[in-house]
Structure 1
Amino acid sequence: MLQTIYRGLTEIGGPAIRLYLARRRSAGKEDPVRGAERLGIASVERPAGRLAWFHAASVGESMSVLVLINRLLDTHPNLTVLITTGTVTSAELMARRLPERAIHQYVPVDRMRYVRAFLDHWRPDLALWIESEIWPNMLSEIGRRGIPAALVNARMSAGSFRNWLRVPGFIRPLLSTFSLCLAQTEVEVDRLRRLGARDVRCVGNLKFSAEPLPADPAELAVLRGAFGDRPLWLMASSHPGEEDIAADVHAALRDRLPGLLTVIVPRHPQRGGEVSDMLARRGLPVARRSTGTLPGPGHEVYLADTVGELGLFFRLAEVVCVGGSLVPIGGHNPVEPAQLGCAVIHGPHMTNFSEVSAQLEAAGAAITVRDGAELVREVGGLLSDEPARTRLAEAASAVAERNRRVVDAVVEALAPALTAAGIQPCP
């Protein structure tokens, strides 16, 4: 019943969907050139041969699955990979980082005529969905067509679980589309099983297996020269409210740590203007990377409002605060700075990475702060105490290294699904 209602609403809602997309496009949240992809109209031809389709909602999910895409393409020479995401930022990153024989498209809006147009064109032999995306029309059509499907790196938050429990007749047939669910933790295994998923297993978090974020060597050298030996800390992937906290931290520590440079990398680079204005109002001299400005002696904040450059700043920062965690967003990936030898701090809101953050905390490999005042204390303490900073960074690197082989378990678990889809490895 709910599935029928949902399908009917999305069908009659065509004009509203187009208006919604137009408003997002005017706000810079939709691609003005490739907008037809959101309506299921492909912008490139389907290559001949077997095609595995990965769907990842946004930046974090798409970055985490790159290691799996590379592994499958290396071992299956006749395979092409299609990856769909829903955000402009993720599309820009995929354009830079996808290997040969991998294609990016925007995921179509979950309206049945768009879904069918997408599937008619791409005819995927296998669908691999990442983490927690549940689109009813798309999943029901995948099931109707008998396309082998698996849910990889599955995540189910407590809130989502409670909501889905209210509509068991709706979620159960959707999850049954997946013949295999590979969950990040045993908690997710239990939740997915209770909601009706089949063959659910815990293999760990694929984000541990991702390659360290890349950095352009020439740009890295330029920034090292510009930063010099100034004490430096990074607010990574920040959201509204967190830049204000970073400014408070800087103001509280600037006299104690002469020459202090605070680097802020907004999660959404298009917010660079508003963040820069806020810093200027607070009397903090700021250099913006998007304008090509490097920080000089007179700058106190470097605003890196560009796409895909976190790898640079993780290599340069002595101390990193993971964004999305000081405000109730759910936190971003602490494995990325851990892999690159940073001393990691995060706030209390790490529900998106609860198991990862728990591992780091148990190993003494990350510091949790409750608010800006505690962040001032920890950033100041770590920048002033090199041995403590080194211990924290080495512990974080060790946790990342211990979990690096998760991708092997994922590939092994997916082998039967690949075979069922006719995707064979090289002899």
Structure 2
Amino acid sequence: MRLIYSALFYFLAPAILARLFWRARKESTYSQRWLERLAVYDFEPESGVIWFHAVSVGEAEAAFPLIRAVKDRFPASTILVTATTPTGSARIKDVLGETAKHVYLPYDLPDCVNRFIRHYSPILAVVLETEIWPNLYRVCGLRDIPLAIVNGRLSEKSARGYLRLRSLTRESLSHVRLIAAQTPEDARRYVAIGADPNSVAVTGNIKFDTELPTEAQDRAKALRDTLFGKRPIFIAGSTHPGEESQILSAFDRLRSQFPELLLVLAPRHPHRIADVVAECEKMGLGIRLRSESEPCDESIDVFLLDTLGELRVFYAASDVAFVGGSLAPIGGHNVLEPAIAGVPVLFGPHMFNFADIACKLKESGGGIEVKNVEELALWTGRLLTDECLRSEVGENGKRFVSSNQGAVDRIVEQLGLLISNP
């Protein structure tokens, strides 16, 4: 089965590269460093690294506390972090800088993954969340490289997809020494698709271990003072196509009740900023871009976050937060980022990628599910009007996050055993 998979991948490789350059028409970074995707490097090999793979921004943000903890535990080791998207790559560079090496993960072709593994000779491979790459996993297994899937998340839908390729999935997972699953349900699904039950442990979700340091809190206050003044702030983060129009509609309803209300809008993908600007202009809204670094006077209705890596701080600078990817059927995004800042969290009905967290956050009283534009406007208005309710929901969310922390420490212990007993 793996040979058929590899043959199909080789056959489709020209189309995959063509798509890469097609995407570069809108986002030029896709055409940069493309040889890394074939594991062709113009720098010297670096052997003996501890390697982490985080697909994009969300996985990278979750991985940072774990990477730092592993670096503290093994200070002599070089850390390598790979990604597959330019936004993930940019965030890794911004946060880790010179403390870690970084390249794109190569395509899952036998010659590419062999070149990659030879170049870095990892002593440990750590894959975040759901990625299963048959050829890469096989090379790790053949070279006796301990391989771990951490913060493992597997939805029912994904599990059904892997079950259709049961023999390929089972072979791939046979090379994995540790699957650190987020929940018992995730652990059960990994075993169902072919993982060795002895390799699966429930360690919790490392996204709970994300903290908002005092420095970030101070920065959030400074941003609010300099950019927004005393205006009430409603932020919608990680939004997708089809969501901005709904959010703008809710905002339009709210303005009659809250004439000074400012909407902070943060599209998930920065290359979409021009489309969002056009949508705002169509409604006659005044716009300020974050990159302009200018305060928002009364003529500004919408503040567009067109930079990377600042969403968490802007959540903390706001009064009410909506987390996108949930009004459109995307699967949702990380609701813990505003919750840890004590900001009331709203999210839509499509949270299937974060179903467990969304359900428990709602049960804790720290999150509110809204099904449509009407409910989004209604609950935002209630929270803006009632300071006691806003504070109560925010504190409930903050307590929910802190009560579920500790996954990073549990995972570091497990990874330490893999390094000590390869």
Alignment of structure 1 residues 368-383 onto 2, 5 Å: 368-383=369-384
Distance (whole Å) between structure 1 residues aligned to residue 136 and residue 290 of structure 2: 40
**Who is 1:197 aligned against?**
195
Distance (whole Å) between structure 1 residues aligned to residue 42 and residue 93 of structure 2: 14
**1:215–1:312: 8 Å Cα contact kept in structure 2?**
yes
**Who is 1:36 aligned against?**
35
**Who is 2:16 aligned against?**
17
- Encode CA deviations 1:127-157: one digit per residue, 9 max, x unaligned: 1111001122222222222211011010111
**1:34–1:43: 8 Å Cα contact kept in structure 2?**
no
Q: Which amino acid aligns with 1:378?
A: W
- Stretch moving more, 336-345 or 287-296: 287-296
**Who is 1:424 aligned against?**
none
Structure 2 SS opposite 1:79 = coil
Q: Which amino acid aligns with 1:323?
A: G
**Who is 2:346 aligned against?**
345
**1:215–1:309: 8 Å Cα contact kept in structure 2?**
no
- Encode CA deviations 1:132-187: one digit per residue, 9 max, x unaligned: 01122222222222211011010111111111122211110111111110100111
Q: Which amino acid aligns with 1:26?
A: R
Distance (whole Å) between structure 2 residues aligned to residue 416 and residue 264 of structure 1: 44
Alignment of structure 1 residues 89-108 onto 2, 5 Å: 89-98=87-96, 100-108=98-106
Q: Shift of residue 212 of structure 1?
A: 2.7
Distance (whole Å) between structure 2 residues aligned to residue 71 and residue 32 of structure 1: 33
Distance (whole Å) between structure 2 residues aligned to residue 222 and residue 179 of structure 1: 45
**Who is 1:165 aligned against?**
163
Q: Which amino acid aligns with 1:294?
A: P
Distance (whole Å) between structure 2 residues aligned to residue 291 and residue 45 of structure 1: 40
- Encode CA deviations 1:258-287: one digit per residue, 9 max, x unaligned: 211011011111111110100100111111
**Who is 1:391 aligned against?**
392
Alignment of structure 1 residues 103-122 onto 2, 5 Å: 103-122=101-120
**Who is 1:287 aligned against?**
288
**1:265–1:304: 8 Å Cα contact kept in structure 2?**
yes
Alignment of structure 1 residues 226-245 onto 2, 5 Å: 226-245=227-246
Q: TM-score, normalised by structure 1?
A: 0.94
Once superposed, which parts of structure 1, at least 4 consecutive aligned residues long, lie more than 6 Å away?
Answer: none
Q: Shift of residue 45 of structure 1?
A: 3.4
**Who is 1:425 aligned against?**
none
**Who is 1:418 aligned against?**
419
**Who is 2:140 aligned against?**
142
Alignment of structure 1 residues 204-215 onto 2, 5 Å: 204-212=204-212, 215=216
Count of residues paired in the alignment: 419
**1:11–1:112: 8 Å Cα contact kept in structure 2?**
no
- Encode CA deviations 1:5-38: one digit per residue, 9 max, x unaligned: 1111222334323322222222316443322111
**Who is 2:257 aligned against?**
256
Distance (whole Å) between structure 1 residues aligned to residue 33 and residue 284 of structure 2: 40
Distance (whole Å) between structure 2 residues aligned to residue 226 and residue 78 of structure 1: 43
Q: Shift of residue 335 of structure 1?
A: 0.9
**1:29–1:88: 8 Å Cα contact kept in structure 2?**
no
Distance (whole Å) between structure 1 residues aligned to residue 309 and residue 152 of structure 2: 24
**2:79–2:101: 8 Å Cα contact kept in structure 1?**
yes
Q: Shift of residue 217 of structure 1?
A: 5.6
Structure 2 SS opposite 1:342 = coil
Task: Say which of 126, 151, 154 aligns to 1:153.
Answer: 151
- Stretch moving more, 381-390 or 4-13: 4-13
Distance (whole Å) between structure 2 residues aligned to residue 159 and residue 222 of structure 1: 41
Structure 1 SS opposite 2:62 = helix
Q: Shift of residue 415 of structure 1?
A: 2.4
Unaligned runs of 5+ in 2: none
Structure 2 SS opposite 1:26 = coil
- Stretch moving more, 161-170 or 287-296: 287-296
**Who is 1:26 aligned against?**
25
- Encode CA deviations 1:263-322: one digit per residue, 9 max, x unaligned: 101111111111010010011111122344432211111111111111221121010001
Cα 1:43–1:206 change in 2 (3 A) is farther
- Stretch moving more, 61-70 or 211-220: 211-220
Task: Say which of 172, 175, 193 aligns to 2:173.
Answer: 175
**2:220–2:317: 8 Å Cα contact kept in structure 1?**
no
Structure 1 SS opposite 2:408 = helix
Q: Which amino acid aligns with 2:140?
A: I
Cα 1:366–1:148 change in 2 (3 A) is same
**1:319–1:342: 8 Å Cα contact kept in structure 2?**
yes
Distance (whole Å) between structure 1 residues aligned to residue 342 and residue 333 of structure 2: 17
Distance (whole Å) between structure 1 residues aligned to residue 190 and residue 42 of structure 2: 35
Q: TM-score, normalised by structure 2?
A: 0.95
Q: Shift of residue 96 of structure 1?
A: 1.2
Structure 2 SS opposite 1:280 = helix
RMSD over equivalenced CA pairs, Å = 1.8
